[in-house]
Amino acid sequence: MSAPDFLFALHFLGGSARSWELLSRALGDTPTCVPVDLPGFGNAAGASGFSVDAMADHVAAVIRSRAPARFAIAGHSMGAKVALALARRSEDGDAGLDGLTDLILISGSPPSPEPIPEDRRAKMLAWIDADPETRLREAKAFVRANVGDGLDPEIEARAVADVLQAAPAAWKAWLEAGSHEDLSRRVGILRTPALILAGSEDADLGADAQHALMAPHLAYHRVVTVDGVGHLLPLERPEALSDLLRKHFDDRPRADGAQAPEVPPAYAALIASERVNSRLRSALEERAEPDDPAYQPEALDPVELAILRAACARVLPTPGVDVAARLDTRLASGAGDGWRFVALPPDPEAYRVALRTLDAAARAANSRPFVVLDGREQDALLTLAERGQLSVPETLGGRLDDDRMRFWFEDLRADVVRLWLAHPAALARVGFSGIGAGGDRPGPIADGLPGFHQVGPDTPEPWEPRPAHQEAVR
């Protein structure tokens, strides 16, 4: 698919529509860049409505006024959160937004609360209402702190002027409210193809934050880190940004179709035979269906689901089966094995708090979120959980103590193995023929009586398929 017709571009906190002029020049008219001043900034400095929803309403009106058949939204920092809210509206069928083809998220503020250190937030709030000399000094410091190698003096001067033009009410509204808004469950997991961009020198919203907090909300995405760049990529490297957009439009991240593990023909024939009762056959056929790459979690939120996927991959790799999504479905249904550790809360809550504790442990030990650690680092943390030695202070995000993390990790291992072994491909691999013990009707079947007759060692019934791993070896 070619580039969209329009690219509606939403700026960062303190930016304006002018922040996109360099990119617009580099792109030419493919697509046509339509920068938008968000309420309280640039030429919309006098406008009101500073919540994420209000800003999304403002942008939606601009998009509808153009009535584009095909369009993308680029969101930079604060603008990315607004872009995600608009993408959810588009996928939900809002009128006038159905032509959305792509999301370009640059140093994006995620759907969850933005990870701004509180001392920095307080400082930014303190100077916005200060005297003109202080405001000028701090605006310059704000721009310079957010770039890698510095900006051309003219570009820097325009960026500083934009910051000074911002309405203090809008600036404070973002820092005090908008950046704190938690839209995780509402945004959910989007199907719109997305390019996620991060600067290698971005302290708060760099690659780690994008992988941990942004990527879990996008089923089809690519994360690219731009070396030497801070938080202001459209100002720092507009030509490189233009090239990245063109490459994205030429090769969007898309799944070619979910690939479920193949059930060997002999085992599939057993499932289809009259030896298997119809209720069990239906259950097995349902379990064999491919998992949806854009599965919407119900018990967990998308970030927790991403942590669970990473943990499950270390416990037991299950290629082609999204065990974490199936576990979330089970948690949401309230079904279980009939018991739990008395020290743990009900299963859905236990999983939520345990996964957040695991992520907090990763940040405490490695200064990075769990999902971006390599396998060895993840295994080390899970081993501590297994031993009852994973302890994280509550002030750092720990929500379960070491003993309860040990209990939870025992539950996790059992759940992962149980869900994997319920899949027909896994049953075939281990050679489990118990599914053929009896069909729907009593009496003889086509090849004799149902059930097992050969009970000695190494004496399989004629109708039993060999274990799939034995077939592969032979």
pLDDT of residue 457 exceeding 50, the answer is yes
- Whole-number percent of the chain with pLDDT over 90: 85
| Structure tokens belonging to residue 296 | 């919407």
Of 455 and 412, more confident: 412
pLDDT of residue 471 exceeding 60, the answer is no
DSSP state of 222: E
Phi, psi for 408 (deg, rounded to 5) = -65, -40
How far apart, in Å, are the Cα atoms of 436 and each of 268, 276, 277, 442, 450? 12, 5, 8, 13, 8
DSSP state of 14: T
Residue 115: band (very low, low, confident or very high) from pLDDT cuts 50, 70, 90: very high
**Structural domains in the chain plus CATH codes:** 6-250 (3.40.50.1820), 265-427 (no CATH)
Distance, CA of 77 to CA of 204 (rounded, Å):
11
Q: What is the mean pLDDT of residues 42-49?
A: 96
CA-angle at 327, arms to 325 and 467, nearest 5°: 95
- What per-residue confidence (pLDDT) applies to 474? 41
- What per-residue confidence (pLDDT) applies to 1? 62
Do the beta carbons of residue 103 and residue 75 sit within 8 Å? yes
Q: What is the pLDDT of residues 430-443, one digit of tens each?
A: 999 999 887 887 77
pLDDT of residue 45 exceeding 50, the answer is yes
Residue 86: band (very low, low, confident or very high) from pLDDT cuts 50, 70, 90: very high
Q: What is the pLDDT of residues 15-38, one digit of tens each?
A: 999 999 999 999 998 999 999 999
CA-angle at 175, arms to 126 and 81, nearest 5°: 155
| Structure tokens belonging to residue 419 | 């869900």
Residue 454: band (very low, low, confident or very high) from pLDDT cuts 50, 70, 90: confident
- Say which residues have a Cβ less than 8 Å from residue 237's Cβ, sequence separation at least 6: 226, 229
Distance, CA of 249 to CA of 143 (rounded, Å):
30
Q: Which of 79, 74, 78, 123 is nearest to 103 (CA)?
A: 74
Q: Which helix (H) or strand (E) holds 279?
A: helix 278-287
pLDDT of residue 344 exceeding 90, the answer is yes
Distance, CA of 11 to CA of 171 (rounded, Å):
13
- What per-residue confidence (pLDDT) applies to 444? 76
pLDDT of residue 255 exceeding 70, the answer is no
- What per-residue confidence (pLDDT) applies to 472? 46
Q: Which of 76, 402, 36, 341 is nearest to 234 (CA)?
A: 76
Query: What three-state secondary structure class fits 223?
Result: strand
Verify cis geometry, omega within 30 degrees of 0, for the bond prior to 31.
Answer: yes
- What per-residue confidence (pLDDT) applies to 466? 84
What are the residues facing 198 on neighbouring strands? 225
Q: Which of 190, 196, 208, 193 is nearest to 244 (CA)?
A: 196
pLDDT of residue 130 exceeding 60, the answer is yes
pLDDT of residue 473 exceeding 50, the answer is no
- Say which residues have a Cβ less than 8 Å from residue 157's Cβ, sequence separation at least 6: none
Exposure letters 287-296 (e unless 16+ CB within 10 A, then b): bbeebeebbe
Distance, CA of 345 to CA of 393 (rounded, Å):
19
- What per-residue confidence (pLDDT) applies to 256? 63
pLDDT of residue 297 exceeding 70, the answer is yes
Exposure letters 311-323 (e unless 16+ CB within 10 A, then b): bbbbbeebeebbb
pLDDT of residue 216 exceeding 90, the answer is yes
- What per-residue confidence (pLDDT) applies to 470? 57
Distance, CA of 195 to CA of 253 (rounded, Å):
8
Do the beta carbons of residue 70 and residue 4 sit within 8 Å? yes
pLDDT of residue 257 exceeding 90, the answer is no
Q: What is the pLDDT of residues 348-380, one digit of tens each?
A: 999 999 999 999 999 999 999 999 999 999 999
Q: Which long-range contacts (CB under 8 A, 24 or more apart) does 176-181 make?
A: 176/125, 177/50, 177/51, 178/50, 178/51, 178/52, 178/55, 178/78, 178/81, 179/78, 179/81, 179/109, 179/113, 179/114, 179/116, 179/121, 180/113, 180/114, 181/51, 181/52, 181/81, 181/113
Q: What is the pLDDT of residues 223-235, one digit of tens each?
A: 999 999 999 999 9
Phi, psi for 105 (deg, rounded to 5) = -115, 115
- Say which residues have a Cβ less than 8 Å from residue 453's Cβ, sequence separation at least 6: 461
- What per-residue confidence (pLDDT) applies to 258? 63
Of 391 and 425, more confident: 425
Q: What is the pLDDT of residues 374-398, one digit of tens each?
A: 999 999 999 999 999 998 888 778 8
pLDDT of residue 183 exceeding 80, the answer is yes
Mean confidence (pLDDT) of the chain: 94
pLDDT of residue 82 exceeding 50, the answer is yes
Q: What is the mean pLDDT of residues 160-175?
A: 98
Distance, CA of 377 to CA of 207 (rounded, Å):
18
Residue listed under structure tokens 């504790």:
357
